[in-house]
Amino acid sequence: MKSLIFIFFNFLFFSGISQNEIKVTYYNLLNFPSSQPSRTDTLKKILDFIQPDIFVVNELTSFNGGALIKNNVLNAGGSNNYQSALFFDGPDTDNLLFYNQNKMGLYSQQQIPTQLRDISEYILYYKPFANQGDTNLIYFYSIHLKAGSSQSNEELRRQEAETFKQFLINNNRNNNLFVGGDFNFYDHLEPACQEILFGQSLDLVDPINQMASWHNNSSYSNIHTQSTRSATGGFAGGAYGGMDDRFDIIFTSNDVITGNSGIQYIPGSYIADGQDGNHFNQAINSGTNSQVTQEIANALFYMSDHLPVSLSFNISEPSSAQGLINNQTAINFYQNNNTLLLNFNEYSKFNISIYDMSGRVLFNKNLKNENQIEINLESFDEGIYIANCNINGNQINYKFILSH
């Protein structure tokens, strides 16, 4: 059986009947696995505790590292719940996204080259809504900016941040954005941080509204993410000095906070995993940790010099029939197995065409004084399509995914 996923470019509305929670975790893995590949059992303890639906990493050093995480950590014991995006071996260390394939599907991905490391874009959709006629695309970005406190390093970070924000603008990425990773910001007034927040007239936000001077500031000890080690110790080297920096952050677009696009951050869910606020300038496993067990605190200490950061969001369930309303224009799309049904007002001139992503026209029909059309999709291959409706000279576009 084929199913249809609609992504509306123009107007989308949701019923508030049910909510579907997704958890995303970002983690700098500290040169995994080249520095010490035996850390898989340590990472498994951490992820068994966090249980993310989407797991995004920095400082992956090889394809083999991604395979170790997918097979020996997330799918340990013979399960097949998690899939990964494609691994791209770019300059310096790399990124990768893993996702629970029972909940999420990978729509597309691409690399964004910068002056140092690639930024990775992963576009996902929520599978349980695939048969209900609609789902939102959700955009995840994995970023690792230049490290260092010197002015030259700050400028390199600013250039990388500007490249990223220009990409968002040039590619019409405005909504449902999750922008996370290791930014190496020492405070929010740094030019690169200001670029991420406000650059190119596209604002991103900190879900916990804690933009500040974090470096070595005990007032923000509950959100510091580096370093988990106060002195030598832990696997794979890394930085020392204890917990005193907020390098790892997840930013979102404004609509994720408001829920205006059907994806909404769950207040209070943002967390630096394992950070109880009582380890300022100390190792994360020093003494007791009120947020996690000693076993998990030790695993965080040994795995990386960074803590993971996580948040959760709800995806609103779409109504069974989705419509577009534009002044006098109203179209409703319905999907039933292999049939696409359009209901609309009677128009003197109505044309519908369906294109594949190469631009080939696979269906075209003109209608006059009709208010309904059924389109049989049985002969269509799996893939992404655009339905173009021309109503009295006005163009309305819909993008949808057809899958078995």
Give the CATH number, domain containing residue 207: 3.60.10.10
Q: Are residues 325 and 313 part of one domain? A: no
How far apart CA 141 and CA 180 sit, in angstroms, is: 6
What six digits make up the tokens of 300?
């965080």
Q: Are residues 169 and 129 part of one domain? A: yes
The structural domain count of the chain equals 2
| Model pLDDT, residue 372 | 76
Q: Given 317, 352, 378, which residue is the final one in a domain?
A: 317
Q: How many CB atoms lie within 10 A of CB 395?
A: 9
Q: What is the CATH number of the domain that holds 366?
A: 2.60.40.3080
Q: Are residues 199 and 83 part of one domain? A: yes
Q: Are residues 326 and 295 part of one domain? A: no
Query: Nearest-CA neighbor of 125 among 176, 172, 199, 51?
Result: 176
Q: Are residues 327 and 299 part of one domain? A: no
pTM of the shown model: 0.78
Q: Are residues 388 and 297 part of one domain? A: no
Note whether residue 2 is domain-resident.
no
Q: Given 302, 317, 332, which residue is the final one in a domain?
A: 317
| Model pLDDT, residue 387 | 79
If 0-12 CB within 10 Å is exposed, 13-18 middle and 19+ buried, where does residue 268 land?
exposed
What six digits make up the tokens of 20?
């579907």
Q: Are residues 311 and 328 part of one domain? A: no
Q: Are residues 299 and 334 part of one domain? A: no
| Model pLDDT, residue 235 | 84
Note whether residue 11 is domain-resident.
no
| Model pLDDT, residue 347 | 60
Q: Are residues 341 and 289 part of one domain? A: no
Query: Nearest-CA neighbor of 11 among 333, 302, 291?
Result: 333
Domain hosting 289: range is 16-317
| Model pLDDT, residue 326 | 40
Quick one: CA torsion of 183, 187, 190, 195, rounded to 10 degrees? 60
Over its length of 404 residues, how does the chain's per-residue pLDDT go in tens digits? Answer: 444 444 444 333 333 334 599 999 999 999 999 878 789 999 999 999 999 999 999 999 999 999 999 999 999 998 999 999 999 999 999 999 999 999 998 888 999 999 999 999 999 988 887 655 556 789 999 999 999 999 999 999 999 999 999 999 999 899 999 999 999 999 999 999 999 999 999 999 999 999 999 999 999 999 999 999 998 778 888 999 999 999 999 999 999 999 988 899 999 999 999 999 999 999 999 999 999 999 999 999 999 999 999 999 999 876 543 444 343 445 666 655 576 777 776 665 778 888 876 678 899 888 877 777 888 888 888 777 777 787 766 667 677 777 65
133 CB-side CA count, 13 A = 18
Q: Are residues 307 and 329 part of one domain? A: no
| Model pLDDT, residue 320 | 43
Q: Are residues 349 and 260 part of one domain? A: no
Note whether residue 9 is domain-resident.
no
Note whether residue 10 is domain-resident.
no
Q: Given 317, 339, 354, which residue is the final one in a domain?
A: 317
| Model pLDDT, residue 394 | 67
| Model pLDDT, residue 11 | 34
Note whether residue 374 is domain-resident.
yes
